Amino acid sequence: MKKSNILVNRQLLIGEIEDSMFSSFLEHLGRAIYGGIYEPNHPTADGDGFRNDVAKLVEDLQIDLVRYPGGNFVSNYNWEDGIGPRSKRPTKKEEAWKSLEPNWIGIDEFMLWSKKVNIKPMIAINLGTGTVDSAHNLIQYCNANDNSYYASLRRKFGSKEPYNINYWCLGNEMDGDWQIGHMPCLDYCQKAHLAAQKMREVDPNAKFIVCGSSSIDMITFPEWDRTVCENLYDDMDYLSIHQYFYESTTENDYYASYLAMNNYIDILRSVIKYAKAKNHSKKDIYFCFDEYNIWYNNKKLEDNYSIAPPLLEEFQSVKDTIVFSGLLNTLLNNCDVVKIACLAQLVNVIAPIMTQNKGMAIKNLIYYPYYYFSRYCRGVTLKSSIIKGDKFASRFGEAYYVSEAVVQNKEGIVVLLTNYAEEEMLVNVQLGGYKNIEVIEHLLINGGNLNAKNTFESPETVVPKKAINSVVIQGENVDIKIPPFSWNIVRLKAD
């Protein structure tokens, strides 16, 4: 049996975990919107055409923010196509995902759905083909409470009261040559600066997320990020980070994804510190990790131009879920700088929720660790140190067989453990400064078949199960047995 020793002290905190850590993303891509959240002919559809079965699964996740409407989609999107009577909205070719966009759902419908499922919006603007004036007009439509043209249009088509949207993404992945309207970094900085200026004229309280690197593998990383932060420091509140993980080289490299994510964040910590010093600023900039997940499906898109074709629909396996859970641990362990994190995406597109047209909605396997992450990890992250434990080699450096995060919430202590080893692990967690420690629950996901998945034919092939007699407590020492290749959450009460 492998062993790992983790040292924790209640006085040593990484930071407070913002509610916005528990956020997600919806794009006009595949069946995320049409056939995902919206399907007026579905048996569970409400009077506005939104699927109640999907809404219930979303509400259970207690999502804080949802980023919308893209994604690559947004860089060729005219938001005015999605307002007004549906019968007058144009159907257009959508070039990012080679689909037809009917514009049945636009900003007003998205805000209506957001209210139904109790989430807050984070809206991305088009800085690809879009103009600074278009960005100004959009925030005026959404947030102005005057008699201006676009505020009056909102009252006519959407809501009498302003939407008061706080979070705005200044474009999407503008460093990527695949992005419609891709431009050199300094050109992006100039356009984003002008957009931020014009938008703040409408709403001085608006928070802006600027485009950082689309991946740690970009040839322009981290130079793009440095240039953006140097030039936009006074305009920005958050730097956007994107990263998807998949098994492209060795199995060990895949398991070490949690370390790769941590390395990415560490590099950008230095970039932010440098930009702050160069700008002689007292303001702190944080990270918005607004796209992360496991993603395999990189098939070439077909030019079929249909409405809501099934794109990027993946059923995650036990192995994928183990890797995914490590990413959640890394986000928690960087909560001092990562203040927003959006699981990409929410429905059907590499998502925790999968649907059939006119049929069922099910929980993809990654739904479960995210559910417990959102339910029980609101509080502060305690600094945890592995002082003894086996490691394995990866292209990202040596990685521990155990990925961990420890959270203190109102209920007590939550210990999150992922075991990447093919044998059982005994983890000793020393909780310094706590007393009267008791076990509430130990839940886990594991399986002899790492490729097992939940599907429409078998939606509960793998579900979390309770571990019995797996935790032994002696004073401040908590010994936890965790199975091979497993995700674990241990909830404790303590004084």
Question: DSSP letter string over 14-48?
Answer: EEE--GGGSEEE--SSTTSTBTTTB-TTSTTB-TT
β-bridge partners, 477: 430, 474
Give dist(CA 195, CA 211) in Å, integer.
Answer: 13
Show the tokens assigned to 404.
């961990």
Answer whether 337's CB lies under 8 Å from 284's CB. Answer: no
Give dist(CA 460, CA 9) in Å, integer.
Answer: 38
User: Pick the catalytic residue: 27, 39, 101, 173?
Assistant: 173
Give dist(CA 437, CA 475) in Å, integer.
Answer: 7
The DSSP code for 388 is E
For residue 459, what pLDDT is reported?
Answer: 95
Answer whether 292's CB lies under 8 Å from 343's CB. Answer: yes
Angle at 297 between CA 356 and CA 122, to 5 degrees: 70
Question: b or e along 18-45 (b: 16 or more beta carbons within 10 Å of the residue's beta carbon)?
Answer: bebbbbbbbbbbbbbbbbbbbbeebeeb
Answer whether 86's CB lies under 8 Å from 104's CB. Answer: yes
Give dist(CA 28, CA 146) in Å, integer.
Answer: 30
For residue 297, what pLDDT is reported?
Answer: 65
For residue 303, what pLDDT is reported?
Answer: 75
Going by their DSSP bridges, the two strands 207-210 and 238-245 should be labelled as parallel
User: Pick the catalytic residue: 291, 302, 423, 424?
Assistant: 291
Q: How far apart are the first and last CA of the chain?
A: 31
Give dist(CA 367, CA 351) in Å, integer.
Answer: 8
For residue 358, what pLDDT is reported?
Answer: 96
Mean pLDDT by 10 residues, the chain (495 residues): 91 97 98 98 98 98 97 97 96 95 98 98 98 98 96 96 98 96 97 98 97 96 98 98 92 96 97 97 96 82 86 94 98 98 97 97 98 97 93 95 97 97 95 95 91 95 94 95 97 95
Q: Is 291 a catalytic residue?
A: yes
Contacts of 426 (CB under 8 A, 6+ apart): 1, 2, 3, 4, 479, 480, 481
Q: What's the mean pLDDT when you consider all of the chain?
A: 96
Answer whether 377's CB lies under 8 Å from 414's CB. Answer: yes
For residue 302, what pLDDT is reported?
Answer: 74
Residues 104, 242, 254, 405, CA torsion sign: negative
For residue 290, what pLDDT is reported?
Answer: 95
For residue 431, what pLDDT is reported?
Answer: 96
What is residue 83's three-state secondary structure?
A: coil
Domains in the chain and their CATH numbers?
A: 2-11+381-493 (2.60.40.1180), 18-376 (3.20.20.80)
Looking at residue 344, its amino acid is A
For residue 147, what pLDDT is reported?
Answer: 92
Give dist(CA 444, CA 424) in Å, integer.
Answer: 13
Q: Is 94 a catalytic residue?
A: no
Give dist(CA 360, CA 363) in Å, integer.
Answer: 10
